[in-house]
Structure 1
Amino acid sequence: MDKVSVLLLLVMHLGPASYAVYHILLYKRDTRSALGWIMACIFIPFGGPVTYFLFGINRVRTRARSLKRRLFKIRFEVGRAKPIPQGLYEKGIRAIGYHITGTELSLDNSITIFHNGDNAYPAMLEAIKQSTDRVYLTTYILKSDKIGKTFIDALADAVVRGVEVKVLVDGIGELYSWTKPSKLLMDKKVSVAKFMPPSLFPPNIYINMRNHRKLLIVDNDIAFAGGMNISDDNMSLTNKPRQITDTHFSFQGDFVNDLSKVFYEDWLMATGEQLASDIAPKSTHKGDTPCRVIPDGPGEEMDFLALAIQAVIATATDSIEIMTPYFIPSRELISSLQSAALRGVNIRIVLPAKNNLFYMHWANRNILSELLQLKIEIYYQAPPFCHSKLLCIDDEYCMVGSANLDPRSLRLNYEVGIEVFSKEINRLIRAHFDDAISKSTRLDRMKLENRSIPIRLRDAVVSLLSPYL
C-alpha cells in the first residue's frame, strides 16, 4: 500500500475518532466509561468511533429533550436544583423534593390505600360513575379483558352523560392485549391517544421512553395513583386466581391539582392539544397529609426520582423499607444503602420470589451479595407476583408511585413518584411490609454465594446488560 493510501486511511480514521473523543469528553460523566470509549475510538480503527456513535450516545435523553444544543453548552453542568425561600423547611427530608423539583408540599390531603384490584377497581369505577365534569386516565397497560372492558364501558357511559373524558394509553403497553384497547375506546366515541406508538411510517421504532404512569383524575376532586395497571391479573376471579398483587392509592385535596398537571403535560406531548389547566379542585374535603409529586422522564436535566430516593435514604436514622418488583440498583443507590447500613439503620428489601421477567431476577442476584454482607435483610415474597412499588423511611416518610428501582424506570421511562409525609400512612404501609415478610423467605448470603459456576456466569452476563433491561 502506498503512502498516499495510508495517509488517506489515517485521516478517515482520525476525523471520526477526534469528534468521538470530543463528544465523550463533554458528555460522559463516568470517568471509567469515558476512558474506555476514548481508548476504543483511538486504537480500534473505524470500528471504535462507529461503535460509540451506535451504542455510546444516550439518544433517548437527546430525543426526549428535542432541543438543539449549542456546541459548548453541557446540560448536566447547568442543573435545575431550586433554592428554598427563607423559612420554608430549609433543611431535612422535607426540603429534598423542593430542591429537586421546585414544587412545594401540598398540605391538606387525605389518602386511602387499596391492596389489589379487588379493592382498587370498584372505587375507581364508582368515581367514574359519579363524575360530572371530566375524567382523565393514563395507564401503561389497559387490557381488553373483563375488567378492562368494564372500565371502557364506564368511560363510554361518562361520555354519554356529557363528561369530558380523555384516555392516554402507552403505545407499547397496549400491545399486551390482542384487541387493542384504543380501538375499543374509539369505537365507543371516547377520546383516546397513544403515547409514542411504534410505527413504520412515519418511522418510530423506539421501545424506550414509555409512559409508565398510572393516573386517574375525576372532576379534579379525587385522583388515583400508584403502580397498578388495569387487568384481570390483579383480581381474584372465580375461574382464575390472582396473578399479580399490587398497591394503589386515592388522594383528595389540593394535591389532585398537582397530579392533574402531570396528565396535562403528558396529553400535550402525545397529542399537541392544550387542556384547560386552571380548574381548582371542587372538593371541600380537607385532610392533614402533606404530599408532593415528583414527575420524572428522560427529558429532565437531572434524574429526579433517582436523586430523590438516594437523598431520602441518606436521611434515614432508624429504618428503610423497600418493596419493588424489579431491583437493579445503580452504584449510587447501592452506596446509599450500604452507608445507611453502616450507620445502623435497619433495612428490609422485599422482592418477588418468582419474577414475571426471569432475566430481572438473574440480573439482581449478581448484586445482592454486596448488600447482604452488611446485614441488609432481603426477602423473597412467594407468588402471586408482587408488583408494588413502596419506600418507607423511618416513621413518617413514604414514596409511592409507578417507578421500579431499575435503570428503565429511573432513566428511560416517564414515571411519577409521590412523597407522603404521614405517620399514619407510614404505619399502615409498614404493617403491609410486616405481613408480606411474614409470608416470605429471607435470602441467605451463603446460599447465594454457593450458586453453581454456570448459574453465576449466567447471572453475571445478564447483569452486564442491566442498563438496557
Structure 2
Amino acid sequence: MLWVNLVAAVITVFKDKREIAATWAWLLVLTFLPVVGFIMYLFVGKKLPRNRIYDIRTQQQIGIDQLVKLQKEQWNEKELLPAEEISDTAREMVHLFLETDNAILTKHNRVEIITDGKEKFQRLFEDVKKAKNHIHVEYYTFYNDKIGNEFLHLLERKAKEGVKVRIIYDSLGSRGTKKRFFEHLRSLGGEAESFFGDHRSFSNFRLNYRDHRKLVIIDGSVGYIGGFNVGDQYLGRDLKFGHWRDTHLRVSGNAAEAMQSRFFMDWNATVPKRRINYQENYFPLVPRQGETSIQIVSSGPDNEVQKIKLGYIKLINSAAEYVLIQTPYLIPDDSLFETLSLAALSGVKVKIMIPAKPDHPFVYRATQYYAKALLENNVEIYRYDNGFMHSKVLVVDGKISSVGSANMDYRSFKLNFEANAFLYDQRISMQLRNIFEEDMLHSTKLTIEDFQVQSAWMKFKQYFSRLLSPIL
C-alpha cells in the first residue's frame, strides 16, 4: 500500500511543471498524508488550466495599450526618463517592468501614505461620496461586518445616484460573505462578482490561486492601493490582533489610469460575458497633481515571470546604504534569500520587520525559521510588538520604494494575484523610511539568542513549517 501511494504521489506531482521546492513539499504531504494529502492537492495543488491562463493573459490593457508601446520605444529617451530626475537604477527598473508587465510609467502623481485603518476608510469614503461616474473596487477580503456594511451601504447610495459600481472580491479571503450580501447593490444597477467563483463550490479545484489585490479607482482619477482590506480587524476592532499596522496609498493622478486598466483586465477575466470596453470617461484627462512617478506592477500564476519578486531583487541588489522591509510573512525563496544575504554580508544595512503574533500558525513558524537564518547572515530582524504588522513595504536608500499587496513569500510570488506601486520619488521614500524608524520604537530587535532559548518543540515546528513553505 505504501508503494502504491508513493507511485501515485510521484505521478500526481510530476505531471505539472513546478519548482523543485514545491514539488518536494507536495511529495512530502502526499506521502505522509495519503488520503487527506490527495484531497488537499485536488483543491489547492492543481495548477491553473491552460485555457484559464490564456483567458487572463490575453485581456487587453484597456486604455493604455498604445501608451505601453510608445514608452517601450522611448524608455531611454529624456522625454520619458530625464536623467536629472531619475537614477540609472530607476531607469532600469522602469525598463524591467515595461518589458515584463507592460507597466507604464506615470508621472506627476500626488501620493498620500496612510498607516491607520480609520484614516484609510475615512479618506476612501470621502472620495467615494464625491464620485460622479464610476467606482471600481477589488479586494481580497470584503467582510460582512460593521465596516463592510458601512462601505456597501455607501456604494449602494452611489449606485442609486446613477454612479456605476463594480466590485471584485475573493470568496476565500471574504469567508462568511455570501453572494446575497450584494443583492441590494445589484438591484440598484451595481455589480459584484467573486474572483474565480465561489470557494465553497466542490467544482472549484483552484482554491490555491487567490486575488490578493487591493484596489479602488474612483472616476479614473483617484486610486487606492496597498495592504488594507475591508473588515473590522483592519481598524483594530479584533481583540486577537489589537492595533492593525498597515500601509496604503491614496494616489491622485495618472497612476489611477494604470490601476483602472488592471481592474478591467481582472473584471473581464472574471466576468467574460459582461466585459468592459474602452470608454473615454474611464480614462479622463487628469491635470498635474504632484511630482511622484509611479509604475503599477502586477503578478500572478497566469505568468511564469515573477514580476514583483524580480523588482524586489533588482532593488535590493542596487542598494548602497540600506534596505528596509516590512512584511507579515517572511518566506523567501532561494533567489530572494541569497539576495538579502548578499546585501547584508556586503555591508548594506538590511532591516526586516515582522509581526509579533501569527494570523496563520504554519506561515508564522516558517517566518521565524527564515528570520533566524537571515539573522545568521547579518540581516537585522525587528519584531513589531504594538499589534499586528501587515504592511508590505520595501525602501532602498531613501530613493525608490514599493507599497502594495505582495508579501515576501512564495505565495505572493507564485500563487496569488498581486499589485504593487513602485515609486520613484525620494520624498515619498524618505517618508516611508521615517515611518519604519517610528515603528522600530515599538519593536524588539531580535538576536540569535532569542531563537536559541526556544523549546525543542518550537524549533521542530519552525523546521517542519519551512519544509512546507513552498505551498503554504
Fold equivalence (TM over 0.5): yes
Partner Cα separation in structure 2 for residue 407 and residue 21 of structure 1: 18
Q: Which residue of 1 aligns with 2:300?
A: 297
CA contact (8 A) 1:327 1:406 kept: yes
CA contact (8 A) 1:216 1:224 kept: yes
Shift of 1:453: 2.1
Quick check: 1:468 aligned with 2:457? no
CA contact (8 A) 2:171 2:199 kept: no
Cα distance change on mapping 1:298 and 1:242 into 2, 3 Å: same
Quick check: 1:124 aligned with 2:124? yes
Shift of 1:220: 0.5
TM-score, L = length of structure 1: 0.82
Q: Which residue of 1 aligns with 2:66?
A: none
Task: Indicate the SS of the match to 1:467.
Answer: helix
Q: How does 1:412-423 map to 2 (within 5 A)?
A: 412-423=415-426
Task: Indicate the SS of the match to 2:465.
Answer: helix
Q: 1:94 aligns with which of 87, 91, 96?
A: 91
Shift of 1:370: 2.4
Task: Indicate the SS of the match to 1:216.
Answer: strand
Partner Cα separation in structure 1 for residue 145 and residue 197 of structure 2: 21
Partner Cα separation in structure 2 for residue 65 and residue 431 of structure 1: 43
Cα distance change on mapping 1:161 and 1:100 into 2, 3 Å: same
Amino acid at match of 2:394: L
Shift of 1:450: 3.6
Amino acid at match of 2:100: I
Q: How does 1:127-142 map to 2 (within 5 A)?
A: 127-142=127-142
CA contact (8 A) 1:139 1:229 kept: yes
Q: How does 1:228-243 map to 2 (within 5 A)?
A: 228-235=228-235, 242-243=242-243
CA contact (8 A) 1:168 1:194 kept: yes
Partner Cα separation in structure 1 for residue 267 and residue 322 of structure 2: 38
Amino acid at match of 1:162: G
Q: 1:313 aligns with which of 311, 316, 320?
A: 316
Partner Cα separation in structure 1 for residue 200 and residue 296 of structure 2: 35
Task: Indicate the SS of the match to 2:259.
Answer: helix
Q: Which residue of 2 aligns with 1:437?
A: 440
Partner Cα separation in structure 1 for residue 13 and residue 25 of structure 2: 11
Moved more, 289-298 or 236-245: 236-245
Partner Cα separation in structure 2 for residue 243 and residue 283 of structure 1: 36
Moved more, 85-94 or 389-398: 85-94
Q: Which residue of 1 aligns with 2:60?
A: none
Moved more, 373-382 or 238-247: 238-247
Q: Which residue of 2 aligns with 1:182?
A: 182
Shift of 1:84: 6.9
Q: Which residue of 2 aligns with 1:275?
A: 276
Amino acid at match of 2:156: A
Q: How does 1:268-417 map to 2 (within 5 A)?
A: 268-272=268-272, 273-279=274-280, 280-417=283-420
- Greater RCO structure (CA 8 Å; 6+ sep): 2
Shift of 1:355: 1.8
Deviations 1:302-327 (A, max 9, x none): 11111111111111111100001111
Partner Cα separation in structure 2 for residue 156 and residue 136 of structure 1: 13
Shift of 1:93: 3.4
CA contact (8 A) 1:325 1:389 kept: yes
Shift of 1:201: 6.2
Shift of 1:394: 0.8
Shift of 1:452: 2.6
CA contact (8 A) 2:313 2:336 kept: yes
Partner Cα separation in structure 2 for residue 37 and residue 225 of structure 1: 33
Amino acid at match of 1:267: W
Cα distance change on mapping 1:240 and 1:159 into 2, 3 Å: farther
Larger-Rg structure: 1
CA contact (8 A) 2:372 2:448 kept: yes
Amino acid at match of 1:122: Q
Shift of 1:427: 1.0
Q: Which residue of 2 aligns with 1:72?
A: none
Partner Cα separation in structure 1 for residue 359 and residue 226 of structure 2: 19
What is the number of equivalent residue pairs in this alignment?
430
Partner Cα separation in structure 1 for residue 25 and residue 163 of structure 2: 57
Shift of 1:295: 0.7
TM-score, L = length of structure 2: 0.81
Q: Which residue of 2 aligns with 1:60?
A: 47
Unaligned runs of at least 5 residues, structure 1: 1-11, 39-43, 69-81
Deviations 1:88-140 (A, max 9, x none): 46952332233432333111111011121211111111111111100000111
Unaligned runs of at least 5 residues, structure 2: 56-70, 82-86
Deviations 1:259-282 (A, max 9, x none): 000100111111112213343234
Partner Cα separation in structure 1 for residue 74 and residue 48 of structure 2: 31
Shift of 1:151: 0.7
Cα distance change on mapping 1:277 and 1:382 into 2, 3 Å: farther
Partner Cα separation in structure 2 for residue 370 and residue 149 of structure 1: 43
Task: Indicate the SS of the match to 1:295.
Answer: strand
CA contact (8 A) 1:169 1:182 kept: no
CA contact (8 A) 1:254 1:281 kept: no
Cα distance change on mapping 1:241 and 1:313 into 2, 3 Å: closer
Deviations 1:363-412 (A, max 9, x none): 12222232112321101001421211111011111111111111111111
Amino acid at match of 2:76: G
Cα distance change on mapping 1:176 and 1:243 into 2, 3 Å: farther
CA contact (8 A) 1:113 1:249 kept: yes
Cα distance change on mapping 1:435 and 1:275 into 2, 3 Å: same
Deviations 1:417-441 (A, max 9, x none): 1100111111111111001111101
CA contact (8 A) 2:255 2:294 kept: yes
CA contact (8 A) 1:322 1:349 kept: yes
Partner Cα separation in structure 1 for residue 247 and residue 75 of structure 2: 37
Identical aligned residues as a percent? 25
Cα distance change on mapping 1:187 and 1:302 into 2, 3 Å: same
CA contact (8 A) 1:198 1:207 kept: no
Task: Indicate the SS of the match to 1:224.
Answer: strand
Deviations 1:141-175 (A, max 9, x none): 11222211111111011111111110111121221
Shift of 1:176: 4.4
CA contact (8 A) 2:212 2:405 kept: yes
CA contact (8 A) 2:236 2:242 kept: yes
Partner Cα separation in structure 1 for residue 234 and residue 13 of structure 2: 49
Amino acid at match of 2:159: V
Partner Cα separation in structure 2 for residue 36 and residue 166 of structure 1: 38
Amino acid at match of 2:314: A
Shift of 1:60: 2.2
Moved more, 262-271 or 57-66: 57-66
Cα distance change on mapping 1:419 and 1:93 into 2, 3 Å: same
